[in-house]
């Protein structure tokens, strides 16, 4: 019985880690590929998008992936207890 619970717990943890947001990794990849939703308004009132790829952000992936894994339990707590399972607003893409 104890071994079965360990296996089920491990499978649930792996499932959560695979399906979690990975917000730091996601942001690094978006900046590297130039697909960020950010920008600014210039003097003429035109919105200028930051869409220039910056491959240097790929160097952050060895740091962001472990950071996302470490913060995953806190994300799980936030999703389950704070928001009742619907996800936090900042965890969803606005595009």
Q: pLDDT by residue (tens digit) across 25-80?
A: 888 888 888 887 677 888 888 887 777 888 999 999 999 988 888 887 777 777 67
User: Is 9 a residue whose pLDDT tops 50?
Assistant: yes
Enter the pTM of the model. 0.54
pLDDT at 60: 92
Q: CB–CB of 57/29 below 8 Å?
A: yes
Cross-strand bridge partners of residue 47: 41
Q: Tell the residue number behind the tokens 């965890």, with chain if given.
A: 91
Quote the CA–CA distance of 18 and 12 in Å, as a whole number. Answer: 10
Q: Structural domain tally of the chain?
A: 1
Q: Mean pLDDT, to the nearest integer, of 84-92?
A: 51
Structure tokens at 61: 């992936």
> Please, which pLDDT band fits residue 95 given cuts at 50, 70 and 90?
very low
Range of the domain at 23: 2-91
| Rounded Cα gap, residues 79 and 86, in angstroms | 7
């Amino acid at each position: 019985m104890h071994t079965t619970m360990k296996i089920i717990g491990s499978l649930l943890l792996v499932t959560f880690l695979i399906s979690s947001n990975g917000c730091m990794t996601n942001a690094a990849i978006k900046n590297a590929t130039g697909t960020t939703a950010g920008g600014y308004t210039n003097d003429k009132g035109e919105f200028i998008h930051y869409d220039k790829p910056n491959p240097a952000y790929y160097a952050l992936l060895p740091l962001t992936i472990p950071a996302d894994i470490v913060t995953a339990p806190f994300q799980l707590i936030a999703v389950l207890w704070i928001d009742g399972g619907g996800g936090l607003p900042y965890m969803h893409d606005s595009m």
